[in-house]
Structure formats: structure tokens, C-alpha cells
């Protein structure tokens, strides 16, 4: 099944069902939006990806692998998060999951930054995702 989104940022975008990721809880500040198309710019090795809301054409996020910023996570999924990702066996999580960070700018001319405190965990096999917000994040760059 294909769908079309008339994105205010990217124009008319055709999305196949295998590119859609469901976030059962939505994302912080956008809890009512649950289905996002996982897209990337035309490139052999894209440095960032796009999460385009399927429910609101005006909502899209640029996301990237935190390694691009020299950062990595060690996240242990509890039963609730594993359940939301539809992962009965946490041993499968390592092979099937991707961790991404949302990219943001505070102002138009400000440098791009990664939102490290709330990474996205995607199960690429089940096409489900969650946003994990750390209450305390200790890191040095």
C-alpha cells in the first residue's frame, strides 16, 4: 500500500508501507502523531534521515546516527519498552534496533545540534519505535 504526503518541507512524497514506523506513544510534544515515514535524501551514504509524519504534513524531523556526533549509547530496554517495540526477546534487540537522535537548530543561523537526551529507538524488523528520555544523562564530549 502506497500513500502520498504533501509535506510543507519536502513537497509531494510517495511512501510505501515498508517505510512507515509506528511510535505507539508518539514523540515528545507530538504524542498524538504515531505514524512516521522513515526517509532519506538521495545519496549512497546519507548523513541524516527524515521522519515525516503521516498524520500531519507540516511535521517532520531530521534525525541522524549519534555516532556522526561522536556519541554512542548503552540503553537497556525494560519490559515495557521491549513490548512497545514488539520485541519479546531482548537478545534480538541488538540486531534489529537502530538508535537515532533528532537534529535541531535554536535559530536560523545557529549550528545544527543533536538532541542527546531523548534518542529514538527503532526496531527495523517490526517497524516500531519509541523515544527514550533520560532523566539524567552523564556524558562528556
User: Which domains are delineated in the chain?
Assistant: 2-131 (2.30.290.10)
Q: Please give the backbone phi and psi of residue 19, each rounded to the nearest 5 degrees, phi first.
A: -100, 0
Confidence (pLDDT) at 96: 63
Rank 4-8, 84-88, 100-104, 109-113 by mean pLDDT and report only the highest: 100-104
End-to-end alpha carbon distance in the chain: 43
Q: Averaged over 41-66, what is the pLDDT?
A: 88
Q: How far apart are CA 94 and CA 24, in angstroms?
A: 20
- Percent of residues, the chain, with pLDDT higher than 90: 38
The answer, yes or no, to whether residue 48 has pLDDT greater than 70, is yes
**pLDDT category of residue 51 using cuts at 50, 70 and 90:** very high
Q: How far apart are CA 103 and CA 82, in angstroms?
A: 25
The answer, yes or no, to whether residue 58 has pLDDT greater than 90, is yes
Amino acid at each position: 500500500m502506497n500513500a502520498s504526503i504533501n509535506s510543507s518541507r519536502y513537497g509531494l512524497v510517495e511512501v510505501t508501507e515498508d517505510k512507515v514506523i509506528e511510535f505507539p506513544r508518539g514523540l515528545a510534544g507530538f504524542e498524538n502523531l504515531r505514524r512516521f515515514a522513515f526517509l532519506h535524501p538521495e545519496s549512497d551514504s546519507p548523513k541524516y534521515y527524515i521522519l515525516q509524519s503521516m498524520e500531519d504534513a507540516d511535521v517532520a524531523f531530521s534525525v541522524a546516527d549519534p555516532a556522526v556526533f561522536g556519541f554512542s549509547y548503552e540503553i537497556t530496554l525494560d519490559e515495557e519498552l521491549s513490548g512497545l517495540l514488539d520485541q519479546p526477546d531482548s537478545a534480538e534487540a541488538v540486531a534489529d534496533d537502530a538508535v537515532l537522535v533528532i537534529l535541531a537548530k535554536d535559530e536560523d543561523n545557529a549550528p545544527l545540534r543533536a538532541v542527546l537526551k531523548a534518542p529514538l529507538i527503532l526496531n527495523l524488523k517490526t517497524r516500531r519505535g519509541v523515544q527514550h528520555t533520560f532523566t539524567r544523562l552523564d556524558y562528556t564530549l
